[in-house]
Every structure is written in C-alpha cells, then in structure tokens.
C-alpha cells in the first residue's frame, strides 16, 4: 500500500522559504474559513435595519458553538496524521482518517435529531429580542442540515493538512467560500430572499465542498483501502490515545465557547445596535485569528513530523518559525486596522449607527493581534505533538481571568468593558500556555527542552 507523499520534503531543519511554501496555502485556507460568516454578515448588512445582522450573528454563534465543540476532529486528526506521516506508517495514515470520520458522522446525525432543543436552549441563553430570535431561528432551521457535512469536512481538512497536502485542503475550502459568496449575492441581492437566502447559500456551499473533498481523498487512499479491516478501527490503544486528546480539546473548546456566548449575550443586553456592531468586529477578529492559525497549522505539521521521525532540530525550528511569522503577521494586522479599520468596517454594513458602534471599539481589534497571537500559535504546536492537556488547562485559566473582568467592567464601562475582557482573555491564552513549553519538550523527546528565550526565538 502506498499513499501519495507530500511534495515538500523537510530534513533536519526548515528554511523560511520552505516554511512559507507550507504555510501560505494554509494561511489562505484559514482566511477562507471565517469568510462564510463574514460574507453572510456583509450581505445582510445591506438590509435596512440591524435586526437581520443581529439575527444572523446569533445564528452564526449557535453553529460556531456546535461545530467548535467538535473542532478537535480537525485538530487531532491533523496531529495524529502528521505523526503517522513522520513515521512513514502507511496503514496508520489511513486509520487516522477513518477513526474520526465515524465520530463526525455520528455527531452530525445527533445534531439533526436534537435540532429543536438545541435551538430553544441556544436562543434562551443568548437573550436577544423577539425579532432577532425569529431571524436566528429561520437561519438555523436551514443551516442545521449541513451539520453532518461540515463535521466530515473537519476530518477531511485535518487529514489533508496532516499529510502535507495543503493545496488540496486549500482548494476544498476556497471552493466552499467562493460558491458561498456567489450564491449569497444571487439569493439575497438578486432574488431578495433575505436571511433564508443567506442560510441556503451557506448550506449548498458546505455540501458541495464535502463532495469535492471526498472525491479528492478517495483517489488518494483507494490503493490502500483493501488492507483496512474494521477491527483495526477498534484497536484499544490508539482509540484511548485519540479519546484522551479529543477530550482535552473538547473541554478547551467548551471554555472558548463559554467566553464567546457570554461576550455575545452581554452585547445583546446592550441593544440591537451594539450587538450588530460587535458582530462585525467579531467577524474581523475571526479573519485575523484564522490568518494567524495558518502559520499555527504549518508549525503543527512540522512538530508532528519531528516527533514521528524523532527529529529534534525540526521541533525546535518549528517554535522559532512560528514565533517569527506569527509576530510579523500580528504587527501587519494591527497596522492594517490603524490605517484602514473604518473602511473595513464599512464593507460590512451601510447602517450609520451600527458603523458608529463598531468604530467606538475599533481600538480593541488593533490591540488584539499583538497581545493574542502567541496563544493560537502555541496551540498549533501542542496539537501537532498531540499533547492537548496543557492547551485545555491554559484556556481554563484564561477563562477564569475573563469572567470576573467582564462581571466588574461592563456595569462601569459598558461595551468597552466587554472588549477589554475579550482582549484580556486572548492575552491570557498566550501567557498561560507559554508556561508549558518546557514540559512539552520533555514529553515529546524525553529530555529537557532548550529554553525559548526572546533572543533565541528571533534567531
């Protein structure tokens, strides 16, 4: 059995050029992910009142909550697959695809069966107005049928990334987003379908992308399928390892989504205009975070391969490259928002009062990349090593910093207090996970990791 090898060969180290060849498709792929929500928000922002923006924002948060809880399907699949690729274990490369795909299929069906209580509980927790909740329910009732497909896409994208097939991963996500943009414009601005058109466009694009990804992966793994037996999927040791990693990543996501739900709920309590303005800034934040996540994914691949092949120099180099390119990108994003932040906000809505609400808090989107870039970079590195417990613990500490801050700050500062709490949470992710770096080296290579001082990180 032979699986097509990735084109990029990395020996003992990795140059900046090699890193960029790996990272840039992942950066583009990462930016394309939040475009689903960003395009939905921008198209709805052309409607005459902020209720539709708020409704779509709450609907998007519901789906983010559902899907992010299972985000470990992509993250752990990428980590396990990159390690199997580093070991050149052809059979395990296939099994790292099929094991999580079973989980994705089962949870997708579960979401469909439980859609009514999920919607009811979510709207009750969000606390928006009756008009906003009605829009959100309409959006949800259509997009929910994409659940099995979007979860399957997590496994597909994770496997392609872990195998180093980043261009194929990029093609799958770009197809989804380009189709979504086209259908959004046709359904909403052309046919006047409103929020129903937005949700339908997203559903069609999700299903189409998964069908494309399935064809791509089938062609790659077809030669080895005859050697896979069901009993291989139920072997105890790899299942235990997968469960341990996925459980930690699940709890990490629970903490992240707890923060997001409280953030959105607090904004909703301040009125529909504030909710809509925050929704726009949050979409900009997602685009920044996913762009930075492209570099984190590249570093995750390097760490996975380094551990699989016991290549300590490559492991060390992955930290250095992740820090350098992550910081450089963060500075670029902050400068971009300083120079053209208001123009970027205006792309999302033509409603003056919503624009003003977003402009008032724009400074926090300027600050966010600088204070928050290192946490997601480290999460990528730890995920490549399939060591998820420190990721879980650090984000729990960040949440414990966020909760009292938002409780104390909002009554005094209003919406500014919400954004202050959000940025402190992002900084906490970076700070607390940094403390686990030496432990990661010991767990991965059974010796003492070298110190990652600012001087060495800049080398």
The tens digit of pLDDT for each residue in 305-316 reads: 888 878 888 888
Query: What's the rounded mean pLDDT across residues 189-216?
Result: 89
> Has residue 62 got a pLDDT over 70?
yes
User: b/e string for 374-383 if b means 16 or more Cβ within 10 A?
Assistant: bbbbbbbbbb
The tens digit of pLDDT for each residue in 441-459 reads: 777 666 434 444 433 433 3
| Token representation of residue 325 | 């390119």
Query: What's the rounded mean pLDDT across residues 44-69?
Result: 75
Query: What's the rounded mean pLDDT across residues 5-31?
Result: 68
> Has residue 9 got a pLDDT over 50?
no
> How many Å separate Cα 232 from the centre of its chain?
30
Residues in the chain: 459
What single DSSP character describes residue 190?
Answer: I
Share of the chain above pLDDT 90, in %: 32
In which band, very low, low, confident or very high, does the pLDDT at 110 lie, cut at 50, 70 and 90?
very high
Mean pLDDT check: name the lowest of 9-23, 348-362, 405-419.
9-23
The tens digit of pLDDT for each residue in 369-385 reads: 999 999 989 998 998 88
Look at residue 128 in the predicted model and tell me its pLDDT: 65
Is-contact 148 105, C-beta < 8 A?
A: yes
> Has residue 223 got a pLDDT over 90?
no
In which band, very low, low, confident or very high, does the pLDDT at 19 lie, cut at 50, 70 and 90?
confident
More confident residue, 60 or 289: 289
> Has residue 11 got a pLDDT over 70?
no
The tens digit of pLDDT for each residue in 176-188 reads: 888 988 998 899 8
Query: What's the rounded mean pLDDT across residues 405-422?
Result: 95
The tens digit of pLDDT for each residue in 298-307 reads: 888 889 888 8
DSSP string, 222-262: GGGGGG--HHHHT-HHHHHHHHHHHHHHHHHHHHHHHHHHH
Contacts of 13 (CB under 8 A, 6+ apart): 313, 314, 317
Query: What's the rounded mean pLDDT across residues 265-291?
Result: 87
| Token representation of residue 230 | 């069901």
In which band, very low, low, confident or very high, does the pLDDT at 198 lie, cut at 50, 70 and 90?
confident
Look at residue 4 in the predicted model and tell me its pLDDT: 45
More confident residue, 51 or 32: 51
How far is the C-alpha of 111 from the C-alpha of 107, rounded, in Å?
6
Look at residue 34 in the predicted model and tell me its pLDDT: 61
The pLDDT mean for the chain works out to 83
Is-contact 202 124, C-beta < 8 A?
A: no
pTM of the prediction? 0.74
Residue 68 CB-density burial (10 A; 0-12 exposed, 13-18 middle, 19+ buried): middle
């Amino acid at each position: 059995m032979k699986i097509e090898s990735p084109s990029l060969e990395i020996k003992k180290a990795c140059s900046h050029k090699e890193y960029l060849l790996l990272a840039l498709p992942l950066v583009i792929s990462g930016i394309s992910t939040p475009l689903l929500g960003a395009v939905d928000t921008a198209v709805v922002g052309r409607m005459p009142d902020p209720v539709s923006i708020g409704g779509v924002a709450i609907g998007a948060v519901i789906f983010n909550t559902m899907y992010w809880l299972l985000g470990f399907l992509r993250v752990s699949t990428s980590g396990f697959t990159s390690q199997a690729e580093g070991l050149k274990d052809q059979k395990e490369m296939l099994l790292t695809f099929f094991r999580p795909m079973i989980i994705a299929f089962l949870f997708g069906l579960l979401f469909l069966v439980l859609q009514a209580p999920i919607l009811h509980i979510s709207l009750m927790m969000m606390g928006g107005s009756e008009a906003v909740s009605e829009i959100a329910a309409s959006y949800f009732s259509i997009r929910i049928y994409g659940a099995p497909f979007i979860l399957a896409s997590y496994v597909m994208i994770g496997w392609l990334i872990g195998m180093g097939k980043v261009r194929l991963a990029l093609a799958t996500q770009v197809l989804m987003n380009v189709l979504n943009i086209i259908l959004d414009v046709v359904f909403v601005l052309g046919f006047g379908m409103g929020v129903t058109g937005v949700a339908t466009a997203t559903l069609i694009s999700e299903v189409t992308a998964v069908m494309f990804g399935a064809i791509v992966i089938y062609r790659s793994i077809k030669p080895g399928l005859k050697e896979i037996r069901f009993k291989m999927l139920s072997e105890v040791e790899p299942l235990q390892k997968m469960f341990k990693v996925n459980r930690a990543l699940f709890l990490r996501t629970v903490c992240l989504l707890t923060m997001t739900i409280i953030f959105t709920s607090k904004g909703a309590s301040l009125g529909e205009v504030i909710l809509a303005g925050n929704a726009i800034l949050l979409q900009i934040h997602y685009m920044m975070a996913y762009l930075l996540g492209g570099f984190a994914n590249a570093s995750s691949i390097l760490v996975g391969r380094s551990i699989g092949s016991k290549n300590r120099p490559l492991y060390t180099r992955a930290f250095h490259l992740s820090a350098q390119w992550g910081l450089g990108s963060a500075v670029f994003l902050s400068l971009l928002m300083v120079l053209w932040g208001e123009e970027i906000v205006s792309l999302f809505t033509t409603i003056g009062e919503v624009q003003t609400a977003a402009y008032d808090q724009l400074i926090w989107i300027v600050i966010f990349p600088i204070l928050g870039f290192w946490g997601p970079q480290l999460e990528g590195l730890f995920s490549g090593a399939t060591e998820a417990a420190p990721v879980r613990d650090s984000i729990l500490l960040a949440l414990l910093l966020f909760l009292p801050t938002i409780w104390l700050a909002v009554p005094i500062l209003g919406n500014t207090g919400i954004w202050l709490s959000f940025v402190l949470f992002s900084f906490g992710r970076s700070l607390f996970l940094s403390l686990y770096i030496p432990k990661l080296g010991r767990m991965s290579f059974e010796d003492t990791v070298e110190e990652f001082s600012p001087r060495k990180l800049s080398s």
